[in-house]
Copies of this chain bind each other. A is one copy, B any other.
Amino acid sequence: MTKKRCAVLGATGSVGQRFTLLLEDHPQLELIALGASARSAGKPYKDVVTWKQTSPIPSNSAGIVVRECKAKHFEDLDLDLVFSALDSSVAGQRKRFPRLQLQLRRRRCRLPIVALQAEFGRVSDVEVFTEQALSGAGYPGVSTMDIVDNVIPYISGEEDKLEPEARKILGSLATVNDDDGDLTVKEHDTLNLDATCTRVGVSDGHMVYVSLRFERRPPPSAEQVKAALRNYTSEVQRLGCPSAPRRAIVVFEEADRPQPRLDRDLEGGFAVSVGRIRAGREDGHFDLRFVALSHNTTVGAAGSSILNAEAAIQKGLL
């Protein structure tokens, strides 16, 4: 099979670096080009990136001459696919790229609730509390003076976007391609989601504590929830995508798991770990509480894009 030719925009940031690692020796995708700011353009990737990953810089990326992130600089390349690791602040230009970013970023982060809806029907109320990792703020991101012996009880812009995102992700499964090539869904527009997002001194791995209420009465028991999560098979698993994890969701019975340092790299960072699954009180507002951990720069960003591309290939869309 011929590999699909792809590029990564925003290649020098944390997520961009993760893309280059995931595209090293990929069986279906070949990294052809890298985009970054004008300042980096014209120089080999290894000379402009401040490499912060624990694996060495991939040899196939190291020598690629970086291009400025404008569509015209990529037109001559006959690309099949463009991945974006651009900040939302500069992401406006991504509309100008063809076949860009098949994914809804953050899609798989919500995966435990997606799995629950698939089994038990719609969720009506969600209260979310997060302890988010430092790499989520990019690089240099958070000043160490702000986080040593400390937590920060607020992440600018983060809470407001969770409800609209969740309404899309938890919408009905029938999806249509709009004119820009993005996926759209029929939104779950009666969902109420409230969030408090905090930053903690952890390098990678977001912890998301969820309290939720189902529409159905009576709600499922904790044991039914655990079984549904354990048995859940995601689309990318069913399609046989090469990067799909063996287990999409790992369920912990130990009271003190998952933990970021110990569990964020399960299934190569492509699993979501769920623990502390417990039923709410009878007649209480919430039916269920749990915590989910996902690796924010792997499954939470670059990894989910790769998976989406693989799914598109398996379905013949690409």
Contacts and interface: CB of A to CB of B under 8 A. Distances in A.
Given A54-B262, A284-B192, A203 B149 contact: yes
Interface string A270-288: 0000011000110011100
Interface in A196-235: 196, 198, 200-203, 207, 209, 211
Contact of A144 (B142, B255, B285): B142
B207 A151 contact: yes
Given A153-B209, A194-B280, A202-B151, A52 B140 contact: no
Interface string A9-27: 0000010000000000000
Contact of A135 (B127, B135, B145): B145
A260 interface: yes
A281 B135 contact: no
Residue from A56, A201, A289 with most neighbouring chain B CB atoms (10 Å)? A201
Contact of A148 (B54, B192, B194, B203): B203
A265 interface: yes
A200 B200 contact: yes
Contacts of A14: 145
A153 B258 contact: yes
A256 interface: yes
Nearest to A131: B151
A195 to B, nearest CB: 10
A284 B192 CA distance: 8
A261 interface: yes
Contact of A131 (B127, B139, B200, B281): B200
Given A148-B201, A148-B203, A200-B131, A141 B143 contact: yes
A56 B236 CA distance: 23
Contacts of A131: 131, 151, 198, 200
- The winner among A203, A275, A286 for most chain B CB atoms within 10 A is A203
A147 B209 CA distance: 18
Interface in A38-58: 52-56
This chain's copy number in the assembly: 4
A255 B157 CA distance: 11
Which residue among A52, A129, A131, A150 has the maximum number of chain B CB atoms within 10 Å of its CB?
Answer: A150
Contacts of A263: 54
Given A127-B127, A194-B280, A202 B153 contact: no
A276 B291 CA distance: 23
Interface string A47-80: 0000011111000000000000000000000000
A257 interface: yes
A124 B200 CA distance: 31
B125 A285 contact: yes
A154 B256 contact: yes
Interface of A: 14, 52-56, 125, 127, 129, 131, 134-135, 139-154, 156, 192, 194, 196, 198, 200-203, 207, 209, 211, 255-263, 265-266, 275-276, 280-281, 284-286, 289, 291
